Amino acid sequence: MKRALITGITGQDGRHLAEFLVGKDYQVFGLIRGQNNPKALLVQEENPALELVGGDLQDLSSLIAAVEQVQPDEVYNLGAISFVQLSFKQPELTADITGLGVLRMLEAIRVVGGTQNNPIRFYQASSSEMFGKVRETPQTESTPFHPRSPYGVAKVFGHYTTVNYREAYGLHASSGICFNHEGPRRGLEFVTRKVTNGVARIKLGLQSTISLGNLDSSRDWGYAGDYVAAMWLMLQQPEPDDYVIATGETHTNRELLDAAARCAGFDDWEPLVTRDPRFERPAEVDLLVGDAKKLQEKLGWQPKVGFEELVRIMYEHDLVEEAARAS
């Protein structure tokens, strides 16, 4: 039985990946921080096969202890301060967890090592936010980075640290440059979930408007469940490498609103949206669209869920959840 250690186990991707790996007969361990972390119960209820191990991306000795205890075949580093807007308010914390956390996890793997025949394989969740003010469209593995937020800057550090540990120490360390990926488990602070949840609540008469910032930015939105399969595929290869994980389609927030309004049977979303500068960022990423040709051609990965279906899955989930909460 293969053993996997996942950081960020309580987040959207950690939950999807844990489910995916249990389905592949892995013994799955999730790193959990803090005392009485309220999310621990949620993830254990959702996935009883999951085992939790204490540790914190801000604390190297706790990571060494976790890797020693678990003796993983594979480590997936999904833990991060992942909300761009928060990263502007807490840049130092973001640099520490999202950036230095990668270095600490790689150090723990380097120190503990694994066996010569079975070295620990490492996946780093890199981000399309590293492209920021994009230098070319679509973005590929060789597009230069120009991050536009403390989050993007920290992810660039994590990305290059992963490349460096691969080159310097021969670690099987791979980096997946993930474009935005969403689903019903996405936090309500992200624009997709804020919109599908808001439209569902409007449909149910629970609120009248949604407050949003910039409606003109455009993102390559995929389904998180599809993306964790790509992460796993990357670690099954004989050689570590970097891959873009993306759908190759981009949509503006206006198109997101169009799609969500269609799900609810509303002709026009304009009266339902108010603009609030508090949701605008000091520096914006205007357009992201990834080219995942390398992942498709070398690893045979294809996204299964398209944009309209993704929005529908999220809207329908939110409708049921909000109706249940209100009753």
Q: Which residues are catalytic?
A: 127, 129, 151
Q: Which of 176, 175, 179 is nearest to 247 (CA)?
A: 179
Contact 49, 28 (CB under 8 A): yes
For ligand GDP, the closer CB: 214 or 237: 214
Least Cβ distance, residue 322 to ligand GDP (angstroms) = 18
Q: Which of 137, 132, 193, 183 is nearest to 159 (CA)?
A: 132
Contact 206, 242 (CB under 8 A): no
Least Cβ distance, residue 327 to ligand GDP (angstroms) = 27
For ligand GDP, the closer CB: 15 or 251: 251
For ligand GDP, the closer CB: 173 or 305: 305
Cα 112 to Cα 72, 99, 157, 273, distances in angstroms:
10, 21, 22, 52
Q: Which of 10, 1, 11 is nearest to 178 (CA)?
A: 11
Contact 119, 169 (CB under 8 A): no
Least Cβ distance, residue 12 to ligand GDP (angstroms) = 12
Nearest residue to the partner ligand GDP, using Cβ: 217
- Judged by the rule CB under 6 A, the positions of this chain that interact with ligand GDP are 84, 129, 180, 189-191, 194, 212-214, 217, 219, 253, 279, 281, 284-285
For ligand GDP, the closer CB: 241 or 284: 284
Least Cβ distance, residue 119 to ligand GDP (angstroms) = 32
For ligand GDP, the closer CB: 20 or 190: 190
**What is the distance between the alpha carbons of residues 223 and 231, in angstroms, rounded to a whole number?**
13
Least Cβ distance, residue 320 to ligand GDP (angstroms) = 22
